A and B are shown apart, each in its own frame.
Chain A
Amino acid sequence: MVKPVTVPDLDLDTLRSEISKEYGEVANNPTKGFHFHTGRKLAKIVGYADDLLAHVPERSLESFAGTGNPFAMGRLHPGERVVDLGCGAGIDSIIASRLVGPEGRVIGIDMTPVMLQKARAAALEAGVTNVEFREGLAESPPVEDGWADVVIANGVVNLCPDKLGVFRAMNRMLKPGGRLQLADIMVHKQVPDEAKLNIDLWTG
């Protein structure tokens, strides 16, 4: 039996607040310089093709802070429904909205209000009308059961202590046969338990 991976001594509200503060900075001041790359430079590092980025407004792209490319491991098809969990400033949601076309739909979920504001403004600027953005947590996303054909996420699961809870939420949102296309981080050296209590390591 697999037990949920949790960090019992970590204050969840404090962690979420610090993560939201960090990514609020990525939204408001994307060129500040972080522990990770951001923006167009990062998008090229993780392999986004130019044609995917061509229609993404700069206000969205500048705050990109993903760890990979959810579009690299499988195509999205016209008419599909996509959930972008931890959508940030909306780059992947906007790309997905173009790939699924006018008959498809995309829901972007994020817990950081300023990121959602940027995502909504970017979608308006891009002229995509099949995407909506909702505030929520990765562990309890506000999407109905069995709604999605595909769940994408980019650098989000690693920010959540209850990773099994996040994957179960993804399962709940997907239709039978639905796909996960995710990007995240992986460590090749074990992280000591005491390091897991260091919030700076979670945010950076």
Chain B
Amino acid sequence: MVEAAGFEGFEITWEADVFSGAPQSSSAAAFETVGINYRARKPA
């Protein structure tokens, strides 16, 4: 989808469980949800 919007070089650079131990129970675990960092570039 990022590339469909006109970007190139899409890359996920990090992922981690950022929800475990949150004060309220979360649906995050049910869908194996993780936090990610990602980057891309608009063509020059």
Contact = CB atoms under 8 A, between A and B. Distances in A.
Given A176-B43, A189-B30, A189-B32, A204 B38 contact: no
A35 B19 contact: yes
A107 B11 CA distance: 25
A118 B35 CA distance: 25
Interface residues of A, number: 47
Please classify the interface of chain B as helix (H, G, I), strand (E, B), loop, or mixed, using the class held by over half of its residues: loop
B6 to A, nearest CB: 5
A177 B6 CA distance: 11
A29 to B, nearest CB: 12
A175 B39 contact: no
Interface string B4-15: 111100011111
Contacts of B30: 189
Nearest to A41: B21
A35 B5 contact: no
A175 B6 CA distance: 12
A7 interface: no
B32 to A, nearest CB: 4
A164 B1 contact: yes
A174 B5 CA distance: 12
A2 B7 CA distance: 14
Interface in A44-68: 45-47, 67-68
Interface stretch (A96-104, A119-127, A129-137, A178-186): A178-186
B23 A5 contact: no
B24 A204 contact: yes
Contact of B5 (A36, A45, A155, A167): A167
